[in-house]
Amino acid sequence: MAVNVIELKEKFAELFGAEGSIKAYFAPGRVNLIGEHTDYNGGHVFPCALTIGTYGIIRPRTDRTIRFYSLNFAEMGIVETSLDDLIPDDKAGWTNYPKGVMWTFEKRGYHLPAGADILIYGDIPAGSGLSSSASLEVLTGLMLRDTFGFDISMTDLALIGQYSENNFNGMNCGIMDQFASAMGKQDCAIFLDTNTLKYEYAPVKLPDAKIVITNSKVKHSLVSSAYNDRRRESETALKDLQTVADIQTLGDLTEKQFEQYKDAIKDDICRKRAKHAVYENQRTIHAVEALKANDIETFGKMINASHISLRDDYETSCEETDILAALAWEVPGVYGSRITGGGFGGCTVNIVKNESVDLFIETLDKAYTEKTGLKAEFYVVDIGEGAHALD
């Protein structure tokens, strides 16, 4: 749906009053084209910002009260808290994400002089794995920065969002999601070295193709615990490899070096996790080279290989996303298809020839329902800008 910011401001005024300086902001969700679970393993990622995301309306207060309202969770009503009570609370629901950003601001020496009234609306489908939480974190950071006049770069806002999710909300994510939301650029993906935060914008030129996201409509409950398990298993593998190789991260290794040193990893499962991290990093580098050379065929093959690795070595896929990818691979005109995001449900990202988009949607829609009983959703997406003020 097209989001009307004037209507959001009117809703804000209805809830909180119309006086004072009321400002509107937007932070996008993201889709990662390739480079999955490499961002906390010192590797490369290749995400792009979407034109869907999270909208925020904010007005500063004169006291220390914070009042939140989300149109997506209207049943919760206005959630009130204080700058003196920034602690995680299950009952606080979605507000734990903006609270975590505020807590991180304070922790980093950016003293919040007053509270605020905040209205939120997001058009990222729930549970899709398109980074609604990172979008909300970056949005909150940008609103606080502008409202209270802090001198903070967009890169630092991404790092603040990541820190808050790791340490306030207990999700041990890497930097990719927040970085893409903060630093996105229209019609470009971000080729980011997560070890150094060096990045370049690579134009995504698909003259005869579209990016189509398919939402499996499943999100398995083990996502956060299993995600943290994968991170721990990767760290264990790295420690074993460091006994025989002078490396700081798994991303430091080539495929050949991994094969040379892999027997140092004692645990079979940890070895599989490390294999994915190393090979996926190299795949991402090769995929970006292919895209720059307008070799969409090779780019698509790398995407397919990424899914297979996530399915077999990293084991963050699931039956439903495996079915979606396998169905996509059979449709003429599909360059590549893979699961995207943290895993265990969510979405697949697909590169589909323009002439095949309708066939792709029609074929997968029918076959996925036949195989799973579920109804997938399809989004033909555009690549948008990073977080920004709307007025």
- The predicted-structure confidence for 339-373, as pLDDT tens digits, reads as follows 998 888 889 999 999 999 999 999 999 999 999 99
Residues β-bridged to residue 50: 383
Whether the CB-CB separation of 95 and 82 falls below 8 Å is answered with no
Question: What is the topology classification, in CATH, of domain 209-381?
Answer: Alpha-Beta Plaits (3.30.70)
> Considering the domain 5-202+385-389 in this protein, what is its CATH number?
3.30.230.10
Give pLDDT tens digits for 72-111: 999 999 999 999 999 999 899 999 999 999 999 999 999 9
Cα–Cα distance for residue pair 40/44, rounded to 1 Å: 10
Q: φ, ψ for residue 178 (rounded to 5)?
A: -65, -40
Residue 177 designated active-site: yes
Decide if 253 contacts 41 (C-beta within 8 A): no
The active-site residue, picked from 177, 240, 252, 313, is 177
- pLDDT, tens digit, 9 for 90 and up, residues 210-269: 999 999 999 865 557 888 899 999 999 999 999 999 999 999 999 999 999 999 999 999
Q: Where are any strands of DSSP class E within 252-319? A: none
Q: Where in the chain is the domain with CATH 3.30.230.10?
A: 5-202+385-389
Considering the chain, tell me which residue range(s) the CATH 3.30.70.890 domain(s) occupy.
Answer: 209-381
Residues of 113-122 as b/e, b for ≥16 C-beta within 10 angstroms?
Answer: eebbbbbbbb
